Structures are given as structure tokens and as C-alpha cells.
Structure 1
Amino acid sequence: MNSHALAELVFHLGRIASGEGLVEGLTAAQWAVLRYFAQANRFSRTPSAFAAFHATTQDTPSQTIKSLETQGNLTRTRSQDDRRSVQFVLTEKARCILTNDPFESLVRAAGSPHPSVQGHFASALQRMLGQVAQERGKPFGTCTSCQHLESDSCSSEEQVSYGCGFTSEPVRPEELDGVCINFIPGKIMALKRSSNAVALR
């Protein structure tokens, strides 16, 4: 199979999984917004970050976000760091809706190959995604493989703390796998665990 045919398969899978037609009364664009804000960390829950993640203009998602607000699926708050900036958080209603996400059909299909095949497939897709993101000038990723992630262990209580070198703010263990707009590719960190740490999703 040549590279063009492989890219077509990946693209077609994405289109199917994104949800064609109305599911739970939501359009494919609305599903995309809900999925993004569900996985984004607190530094990246903004319209501009969503636009960068999906490689669109900042004006593109504005109406979709407004409609989800009106439906009671998103709530907006002012950023604590920049009062001119707003952040969006999913409501409980939206989290319930996400349990019927059409994307889950792709999740089930991804789990069908043997685990050894899944590992190779995941590595290949990560490389593809990284190359495309670099060419477009804005890679996204999670804290665990970001150059900005810092950690410190307190041996007396065996507590582990994490911080973001870019924002100079602490990062909670449960946030480590959230998508971040400030991501810079780096070496994957071996996470230190403590009895108080929250397991990653």
C-alpha cells in the first residue's frame, strides 16, 4: 500500500468516527468541540487553542462554541492569568452526552488488533501526527513527553509534584495526559508515582 492510500484510510476513518448526521442532536462540528474541551488541559481550553489544534481560523469555531453554550453543554470562565481571555469547561450534561460519542466505534475498532500490533500502529500514527503538526508549525501533545514538564519528589512523604516550566504553574497528576497548546516535543518522562497520585486515564 502506498502512502497516499494509507493517508486516505486514516482520513476516512476519522470522518466516519467524527459522526455524520445528528447524534444526540449534535453536529460533527459540535462533537469535535466537546471532544477537544474534554481532553484539553486548563491552559488550553480556549477558542484560539481549539482553532490551532484543528488548524482552522479562530473565527471558525466561535458559532459552534456559542451554540453549545446556549444548549448548556459548555460554561465559560475568565482566565485567572489573563482576564481578557475566556476558558470553556464541559458541564455535567455534556459529559453525559459524551458517553454516546460516535467516536467510540473507532475506539472499539482500535482495541481489536493484538496488543503487539497496537503498539506498532500507535507509534506509526504518533510519528505521522508529529510530522504533520511540525509542518503546520504548531504541535500539540501531553505533559508526559513535553520539554516543559518538571518534577520533584519529596522523599519524606513520598509525594510527587509536577510543574510546567512554560507557565511556572503546578500540574496535577490527573492533568498530565491532557492536550496542551504549550507543548514542545521532548523525551518521555518516567512518571514517579506516589500513593496520593491520581492514576492517568
Structure 2
Amino acid sequence: MNQTAILLERLSALLQQSVRDDAAGHGLLPIHLQVLHYLARANRYSDLPIAIAEYFGITRGTVSQTLQVLERKGLLTKKPDPQHGKRVHLQLTAAARRVLQQTWAERVVPLPEELPPPMLALENTLRTLLLTMQRINGRRAFGICHECIHFLTEASGHRCGLTGEVLADEQTLRICREWTAPATRAAIGKRVKPATAASQPAPRRPRRA
């Protein structure tokens, strides 16, 4: 095992221990806390039970049991989608957000919005490694909405080129299960706000969902 693999393994072990400790402090299992973290970052295409199964690589049965626990503890609610039949969106409660404010991610010193070159290079390397491992394992990428090839900015606002639906600004900063890497990754990892209409190419026609 090379030194990079050893460092990643050690970092992973420390993060897993932090998640276990944080979860235990609230009477939860690690997967319960991980699902809360995920839902806090998921957009409306991704706050679904099936998306949770895909993101974590777990069975639908495990997802169902996890959601039952979180709902029983008052940490999430289910909201039917009026346009998509039986589809249910999962939403965090105020209690869940208070739990997340006490986790390891909030204890880490926040990184500046504009990363220095060494940190930016590290982040891009980790992103590339993650995408490679996801491809090898046949997993969805789940990237940030405004970094997707389908993200469009028009005079009237933002739109998903895959579904043709209008996107609220807040949704464009969340992760999406439909994310597809753009032809170039030059803009990925720069932590910039969604581009303005003046900086975007002419809108593409939306693909069928």
C-alpha cells in the first residue's frame, strides 16, 4: 500500500470514529447521522429514498428502516410530490438541523471561500479520485447542481437542461443525483457562485428526463 492510500485510510478511520461518537451522543447510529448530513445538502431531485440508497450504496430496506427511526425521533418529515404520484420528498426538521450543528463537520475550521492554490489542487485531486472510484463501482456521482453539464443560466434565471425545470438559486448550490460532469473540469472546485447569463453560452435545449 502506498503512502497516499495509507493517509486516506487513516483519515477515513478518524472520520468514521467522529461520526460514531456524534451519532451516539444523540442516540443514533452512524447511518442515521449520515443521512441527515446528506439531506441537508440534497436538492429536490435528490431528497428521495431511492437517492439515499444510491448515494450510500445501501438497500432500500435499510433506507426504509433508517427513515422510520429518523421520523419517529422527529428529525425528518415526508412531503408528497404533487406532480409525481407516489414520490415523497424528505425534509429535515429544526431538531435535525440542531443535531447537525453539533457534529464533527461544524467543529472543523471553516475553509475560506477562495481556496489557496495548494488546497484547491488537493480538492480537485480528491474530486478526481472520488469520480474514478464511483465509475469503477458503478455509482452515481452526485455533484453540485451548478457544476453540472445540464445547468443553464438564462435571462430569466436558472434551469435544468435535463428536465427543463426552473431552478431556484438555493437549489443550484445543492448536490444532485442527476449530475453529469461537464466536458471540461476547469470550473469544478473553484467554489464560485453560479455563473451569470453574460458568462454562459447560449442555452441548450433540455433533454428528456
Do 2:151 and 2:158's aligned partners in 1 also have CA atoms closer than 8 Å? yes
* Equivalent residue, structure 2, for 1:58: 60
* Equivalent residue, structure 2, for 1:92: 94
The two structures have a TM-score, normalised by structure 2, of 0.79
Q: Which runs of 5+ in 1 are unaligned?
A: 154-159, 195-201
Q: Which runs of 5+ in 2 are unaligned?
A: 189-193, 199-209
* Equivalent residue, structure 2, for 1:76: 78
**Within 1, Cα distance between the matches of 2:137 and 2:49?**
18
Paired residue secondary structure (2:175): coil
Residues 36/90 of structure 1: CA separation in 2 closer, same or farther (3 Å cut): same
Tell me, yes or no, if structure 1 residue 173 matches structure 2 residue 174: no
* Equivalent residue, structure 2, for 1:198: none
Identity of paired residues, percent? Answer: 26
* Equivalent residue, structure 2, for 1:5: 6
Residues 126/13 of structure 1: CA separation in 2 closer, same or farther (3 Å cut): farther
User: For residues 58-96 of structure 1, what are the alpha-carbon distances to aligned partners after superposition, in whole Å with 9 as ceiling and x for unaligned?
Assistant: 222211111110111100011233221211000112112
Tell me, yes or no, if structure 1 residue 123 matches structure 2 residue 124: yes
* Equivalent residue, structure 2, for 1:45: 47
The two structures have a TM-score, normalised by structure 1, of 0.81
- Which residue identity does 2:58 align to in structure 1? T
Paired residue secondary structure (2:15): helix
* Equivalent residue, structure 2, for 1:191: 195
**Within 2, Cα distance between the matches of 1:167 and 1:13?**
39
Give the RMSD, CA atoms, in angstroms. 2.4
**Within 2, Cα distance between the matches of 1:80 and 1:16?**
40
**Within 2, Cα distance between the matches of 1:46 and 1:35?**
14
Residues 16/193 of structure 1: CA separation in 2 closer, same or farther (3 Å cut): farther
* Equivalent residue, structure 1, for 2:191: none
Give the C-alpha shift of residue 109 in structure 1.
Answer: 8.1
Do 1:33 and 1:50's aligned partners in 2 also have CA atoms closer than 8 Å? yes
Do 2:153 and 2:197's aligned partners in 1 also have CA atoms closer than 8 Å? no
Bigger Cα displacement from structure 2, 44-53 vs 79-88: 79-88
Question: Aligned residues, how many?
Answer: 185
**Within 2, Cα distance between the matches of 1:118 and 1:24?**
33
Bigger Cα displacement from structure 2, 33-42 vs 165-174: 165-174
Do 2:78 and 2:89's aligned partners in 1 also have CA atoms closer than 8 Å? yes
Do 2:32 and 2:66's aligned partners in 1 also have CA atoms closer than 8 Å? yes
**Within 2, Cα distance between the matches of 1:66 and 1:38?**
18
Residues 128/90 of structure 1: CA separation in 2 closer, same or farther (3 Å cut): same
Paired residue secondary structure (2:61): coil
Give the C-alpha shift of residue 193 in structure 1.
Answer: 7.9
User: For residues 98-121 of structure 1, what are the alpha-carbon distances to aligned partners after superposition, in whole Å with 9 as ceiling and x for unaligned?
Assistant: 11123333x32877xx84432122
Give the C-alpha shift of residue 51 in structure 1.
Answer: 1.0
